[in-house]
Amino acid sequence: MTKYLALRLIKIYQMTLSPDHGPLKYFFPNGACIYRPSCSEYTYDAIKKYGIIKGVLIGTRRIVRCHPWHEGGEDPLK
Distance, CA of 26 to chain centre: 18
Torsion of Cα atoms, 26 then 77 then 2 then 7, to 10°: 20
pLDDT tens profile 2-58: 999 999 999 999 999 999 998 988 898 888 889 999 999 999 999 999 999 999 999
Confidence at residue 78, expressed as pLDDT on a 0 to 100 scale: 83
For the chain, the domain total comes to: 1
Confidence at residue 1, expressed as pLDDT on a 0 to 100 scale: 79
Q: What band does 66 get if pLDDT is binned at 50, 70 and 90?
A: confident
- Report the run of H or E that residue 74 belongs to, with start and end: strand 73-74
Q: Which domain holds residue 39?
A: 2-74
pTM of the shown model:
0.89
Q: CA–CA separation, 76 vs 57, rounded Å?
A: 16
Confidence at residue 59, expressed as pLDDT on a 0 to 100 scale: 95
